[in-house]
Amino acid sequence: GESVGLHLPTLSVQEGDNSIINCAYSNSASDYFIWYKQESGKGPQFIIDIRSNMDKRQGQRVTVLLNKTVKHLSLQIAATQPGDSAVYFCAENIGDSGYSTLTFGKGTMLLVSP
Amino acid sequence: NAGVTQTPKFQVLKTGQSMTLQCAQDMNHEYMSWYRQDPGMGLRLIHYSVGAGITDQGEVPNGYNVSRSTTEDFPLRLLSAAPSQTSVYFCASSYSIRGGTEAFFGQGTRLTVV
């Protein structure tokens, strides 16, 4: 079958570089955002989240930046490793409306060369 | 602790056949959901459940049925398979209605309808 990764924007980096993956979200009422990582043949895995009352949140080697003015979200991965190669999805959610309004972006493929 | 388990991993159906995709979680999560993922697209919500006995439609519910008789299980039924239902299906569970930090995905079922 066709891979999920085909036709996706692709970011190619060298091992050790910093990676920045961008996401434009659609709904100005969204107040909760999540980044997921999906490796080939696996289900999405939670990476980091951020609420709209914040503009930056840091995790282990990852940072999410939120710019509500232009409805833009980014995921920064420091010292990228070959194991970071995957498809990355952002998702947006509105308040307490739950699953019915969790909307996923189309994804970006990250390729890390050793 | 297995997390979210989906069966089968692969399935080929003929147009018009019916089948059930199984999903089970052992984390005592209240919230479960089914998504489909098509090439170059993000995940789209099919159906979700906020607890045993309660289900609701997502973005793309047509052609699918669900039920939630127990907290652990959330099967997805295809009543009469169509080629347009060729996709990768993911089940997810969460103890939060937001489907964020606490969301866990299964490994996926790759379905081909011929």
CB A111 within 8 A of CB A85: yes
Please indicate whether, in this complex, the C-beta atoms of B48 and A99 are within 8 angstroms of each other: yes
User: What is the rounded average pLDDT of the residues B6-20?
Assistant: 97
Contact state of B39 with A104 under an 8 Å Cβ cutoff: no
Token representation of residue B89: 């299906």
The identity of residue A5, as a single letter, is G
- Give the per-residue pLDDT at B65: 97
Question: At residue A49, what are phi and psi to the nearest 5 degrees?
Answer: -130, 165
With CA atoms as reference, report the closest residue to A37 among A21, A24, A14, A51.
A21
**Whether the predicted pLDDT of B85 surpasses 50:** yes
Q: At A83, phi and psi to the nearest 5?
A: -70, -10
Mutation pick from B6, B86, B98 vs chain A, by most beta carbons of A within 10 Å, is B98
Chain A residues in contact with B110 by the CB 8 A cut-off are: 1
- Would you tell me how many other CB atoms lie within 10 Å of the CB of residue A49? 21
- The pLDDT tens digits for A66-111 are 999 999 999 999 999 999 999 999 988 865 555 556 788 889 999 9
DSSP A2: -
Sign of torsion over alpha carbons A50, A54, A60, A62:
positive
Q: Report pLDDT for A6.
A: 54
Q: What is the pLDDT of residues B16-72, one digit of tens each?
A: 999 999 999 999 998 899 999 998 778 999 999 988 999 999 889 999 999 999 999
pLDDT at A13 over 50: yes
pLDDT at A2 over 70: no
Backbone dihedral angles phi then psi of residue B41, each to the nearest 5 degrees? -125, 160
